[in-house]
Amino acid sequence: ILKTLNSWFWWENIWMPINCTWADFVDREGLVFPKPHQLYATIPYAFVLLIIRFFSERYVAIPLAKALGIKNVRRVKPQPNPVLESYFRECSRHPSQSEIRGLAKKCNCTVHLVEKWFRRRRNLEIPTVLRKFREAFWRFSFYLTSSIVGFIFLYDKPWFYDIWQTWVGYPFQTLLPSQYWYYMAEIGFYWSLLFTLGIDVKRKARAVLDRLYLYFLLSCQDFMAHVVHHLAAIGLMSGSWCGNYVRLGTLVMFVHDTADFWLEAAKMFNYAHWEKTCNILFIIFSITFFITRIILFPLWILRATLYLPTYYSTTPVLAYFVFNGMLLTLQGLHLYWGYLIFKILKRFIFLK
């Protein structure tokens, strides 16, 4: 069954134009093609990024946070109690008064001590400001680096200025070393985020209510939403790699990264209570978001994926519908996020 499914998945009519086979994607003089098995390397690259993250957070983010006035708050741990710990993990973090009285009898202690234990135990689950700052610093560092490096990789390429060039010669477009490393870093980064979801700060919807003008939707996704998002990003990039849609893939990654580091910078200064700087950075983020994801993405990227392929082939392959369906879904999210950002800016400008 697995062998049959594998043969169906790699059927040429899904991935490439008619009269092309996987045998045509063998490296030859002057041409180098992306190969699906190269994606296995993104897993060790993800662990390399985790090591870089550890040292950057420890030796750069923490000193920077102290310089900005962020202190490391040490929370008091509750006394070890297997009964209360089991109830906290398996039943409820906010027991009712009747449940507290029952637990007090079971543990042979006072109601006040049980309430105090649960309060301290809940506080341990709340991430400190320093921990939030460290995560924001890591994301800021990666998105800023990927934006700068992406621009260096793309600025001298003809398809960066003429979107028609993304399809010239397809599918026999050679893979450049810069494109290889760009893909490996991006996919590895999302793998690393997936690996640390269990220990990273879990973002709650009430954070948006506390500081609405900063957090918007990206900070109110729960654990499963992050899992789905990271897997979708990895799947989309990996699929574009296998189908040799590398030119378009690098443009999509560049368009998305250029707005994200402004948001992470705004978060960092928000944690440090530099409100004016935070507000300025959020306004810059909003402008960048609208330019890149509401204007450039549909008029530049989607035009290249939906409209231009019809000039090169009258029979679109299945990948055309799959990838464009995912990109259109992504654009729907952009519009929704843009609507929320607009509401936040409206509140910020008119309600102060």
pLDDT in tens, 38-68: 999 999 999 999 999 999 999 999 999 999 8
209 or 117, which is more confident: 117
Residue 257 · residue 58 · CB < 8 Å: no
Q: What is the pLDDT of residue 47?
A: 95
Cβ neighbours of residue 34 closer than 8 Å, sequence gap 6 or more: 175, 180, 183, 241, 242, 244, 246
Among all chains, which residue has been given the structure tokens 């993104």?
A: 42
Q: What are phi and psi of 28, to 5 degrees?
A: -140, 180
Residue range 134-191, pLDDT digits in tens = 999 999 999 999 999 999 999 999 999 999 999 888 888 899 999 999 999 999 999 9
Report d(CA 261, CA 145) in Å as an integer: 9
Contacts of 61 (CB under 8 A, 6+ apart): 133, 134, 137, 138
Residue scoring higher pLDDT (315 or 126): 126
Q: How large is the average pLDDT for residues 244-250?
A: 92
At 325 the pLDDT is 87
Residue 203 has pLDDT above 60, yes or no: no
Please compute the mean of the pLDDT values over residues 12-31 and round it to a whole number.
Answer: 79
> How far is Cα 314 from Cα 303, in angstroms, rounded to an integer?
17
Angle at CA 194, nearest 5°, toward 344 and 48?
Answer: 115
Domains of the chain (ranges; CATH) run 30-70+128-351 (no CATH), 82-124 (1.10.10.60)
Q: How far apart are CA 242 and CA 40, in angstroms?
A: 12
What is the predicted pLDDT for the residue at 98?
A: 85
| SS3 label, residue 348 | helix
Nearest CA to 241 out of 56, 37, 22 is that of 37
61-87: average pLDDT = 84
pLDDT at 225: 59
pTM value is 0.81
What is the rounded radius of gyration, in angstroms, for the C-alpha atoms of the chain? 24
Task: Give the integer Cα–Cα distance in Å for 191 and 259.
Answer: 21
Q: How far apart are CA 250 and CA 245, in angstroms?
A: 9
Mean pLDDT of the residues in the chain: 84
Q: Note the pLDDT of residue 302.
A: 92
Question: Residue 63: what pLDDT?
Answer: 93
Mean pLDDT of 29-34: 86
HSE at residue 242, side-chain half, CA atoms within 13 A, is: 18
Write the single-letter amino acid at 68: L
pLDDT for residue 217 is more than 80: no
Cβ-contact 287, 324 below 8 angstroms: no
Helical (H) or strand (E) element with 29: none
- Model pLDDT for residues 327-337, shown as the tens digit of each residue: 888 888 889 88
User: What band does 121 get if pLDDT is binned at 50, 70 and 90?
Assistant: confident
CB 215 within 8 A of CB 347: no
State the pLDDT at residue 156. 92
**Residue 86 pLDDT level (bands cut at 50, 70, 90):** confident
Scan for tokens 């990273």, then name that residue.
200
